[in-house]
Amino acid sequence: MHITTELHGRDATLTPRGAIDFENLDQLRACLTGLPDTVTEVIWDLHAVTFADIAGLHLLSTPTAPAQVTLTNLTPPVRHLLEAATATFPDQGWDRHLPTPVGHGAVRTAA
Protein backbone atom coordinates (compact mmCIF):
# COMPACT_ATOMS: atom_id res chain seq x y z
CA MET A 1 0.00 0.00 0.00
CA HIS A 2 1.23 3.44 -0.91
CA ILE A 3 -0.38 6.46 0.78
CA THR A 4 0.17 10.05 -0.26
CA THR A 5 -0.43 12.75 2.36
CA GLU A 6 -0.85 16.36 1.32
CA LEU A 7 -1.30 19.20 3.78
CA HIS A 8 -3.12 22.35 2.70
CA GLY A 9 -3.52 24.68 5.65
CA ARG A 10 -5.96 22.99 8.02
CA ASP A 11 -6.87 20.24 5.52
CA ALA A 12 -5.07 16.96 4.95
CA THR A 13 -5.71 14.82 1.87
CA LEU A 14 -4.80 11.15 2.23
CA THR A 15 -4.71 9.11 -0.97
CA PRO A 16 -4.27 5.37 -0.46
CA ARG A 17 -3.39 3.22 -3.46
CA GLY A 18 -4.26 -0.45 -3.41
CA ALA A 19 -6.32 -2.53 -1.00
CA ILE A 20 -7.84 -1.31 2.24
CA ASP A 21 -7.68 -4.48 4.30
CA PHE A 22 -6.45 -5.57 7.72
CA GLU A 23 -2.92 -5.99 6.38
CA ASN A 24 -2.81 -2.25 5.63
CA LEU A 25 -5.03 -0.93 8.44
CA ASP A 26 -2.19 -0.06 10.83
CA GLN A 27 -0.36 1.87 8.10
CA LEU A 28 -3.51 3.81 7.24
CA ARG A 29 -4.22 4.61 10.90
CA ALA A 30 -0.61 5.72 11.37
CA CYS A 31 -1.16 8.29 8.62
CA LEU A 32 -4.11 9.64 10.58
CA THR A 33 -2.34 9.77 13.92
CA GLY A 34 0.72 11.36 12.32
CA LEU A 35 -1.22 14.40 11.12
CA PRO A 36 -0.53 17.72 12.83
CA ASP A 37 -2.95 18.77 15.57
CA THR A 38 -3.92 21.78 13.46
CA VAL A 39 -5.70 19.61 10.88
CA THR A 40 -9.47 20.16 11.06
CA GLU A 41 -10.50 18.22 7.95
CA VAL A 42 -9.27 14.85 6.70
CA ILE A 43 -10.05 14.15 3.06
CA TRP A 44 -9.77 10.55 1.90
CA ASP A 45 -9.30 10.52 -1.87
CA LEU A 46 -10.20 6.94 -2.72
CA HIS A 47 -9.80 6.99 -6.50
CA ALA A 48 -6.97 4.42 -6.41
CA VAL A 49 -8.52 1.94 -3.95
CA THR A 50 -8.84 -1.43 -5.66
CA PHE A 51 -10.37 -3.40 -2.77
CA ALA A 52 -11.97 -2.63 0.58
CA ASP A 53 -13.21 -5.01 3.25
CA ILE A 54 -14.39 -4.50 6.81
CA ALA A 55 -11.02 -2.92 7.60
CA GLY A 56 -12.33 0.09 5.67
CA LEU A 57 -15.14 0.40 8.19
CA HIS A 58 -12.63 0.13 11.03
CA LEU A 59 -10.60 2.88 9.37
CA LEU A 60 -13.64 5.15 9.18
CA SER A 61 -14.25 4.44 12.87
CA THR A 62 -10.76 5.64 13.80
CA PRO A 63 -11.18 8.77 15.91
CA THR A 64 -10.04 11.91 14.11
CA ALA A 65 -11.71 14.44 16.42
CA PRO A 66 -11.94 17.34 16.06
CA ALA A 67 -11.33 16.79 12.34
CA GLN A 68 -14.18 16.29 9.92
CA VAL A 69 -13.86 13.45 7.43
CA THR A 70 -14.64 13.77 3.73
CA LEU A 71 -14.63 10.85 1.30
CA THR A 72 -14.05 11.62 -2.36
CA ASN A 73 -13.86 9.54 -5.52
CA LEU A 74 -15.50 6.39 -4.14
CA THR A 75 -14.53 3.39 -6.26
CA PRO A 76 -16.97 0.51 -6.77
CA PRO A 77 -15.32 -1.63 -4.02
CA VAL A 78 -15.62 1.19 -1.47
CA ARG A 79 -19.18 2.03 -2.51
CA HIS A 80 -20.14 -1.66 -2.30
CA LEU A 81 -18.66 -1.94 1.20
CA LEU A 82 -20.56 1.12 2.41
CA GLU A 83 -23.81 -0.04 0.80
CA ALA A 84 -23.47 -3.52 2.36
CA ALA A 85 -22.67 -2.02 5.78
CA THR A 86 -25.67 0.29 5.50
CA ALA A 87 -27.98 -2.59 4.60
CA THR A 88 -26.61 -4.83 7.35
CA PHE A 89 -26.28 -2.22 10.10
CA PRO A 90 -28.73 0.58 9.23
CA ASP A 91 -28.50 2.17 12.67
CA GLN A 92 -24.71 2.62 12.44
CA GLY A 93 -24.96 5.50 9.97
CA TRP A 94 -22.61 4.14 7.31
CA ASP A 95 -24.84 5.75 4.69
CA ARG A 96 -23.48 9.16 5.76
CA HIS A 97 -20.36 8.26 3.75
CA LEU A 98 -22.34 7.59 0.57
CA PRO A 99 -23.19 10.34 -1.91
CA THR A 100 -26.77 11.48 -1.81
CA PRO A 101 -28.86 10.51 -4.83
CA VAL A 102 -28.92 14.15 -5.92
CA GLY A 103 -25.17 14.80 -5.96
CA HIS A 104 -22.14 12.74 -6.76
CA GLY A 105 -19.49 14.97 -5.18
CA ALA A 106 -17.68 14.73 -1.89
CA VAL A 107 -19.53 13.47 1.15
CA ARG A 108 -18.79 15.41 4.32
CA THR A 109 -19.15 13.50 7.56
CA ALA A 110 -18.24 13.91 11.17
CA ALA A 111 -16.13 11.03 12.41
Whole-angstrom Cα distance, residue 108 to residue 20?
A: 20
SS3 55: helix
Q: What gap in Å lies between CA 26 and CA 59, rounded to an integer?
A: 9
pLDDT at position 111 is: 46
By residue range, what is the domain housing residue 48?
2-110
Domain of residue 33, CATH code:
3.30.750.24
Q: What is the reported pLDDT for 102?
A: 35
Number of domains in the chain: 1
pLDDT tens digits for range 3-43: 999 999 999 999 999 999 999 999 999 999 999 999 999 99
Cα–Cα distance between 13 and 15 in angstroms, integer? Answer: 6
Give the DSSP letter of residue 99.
P
Can you tell me the mean pLDDT for 75-104? 84
pLDDT at 74: 95
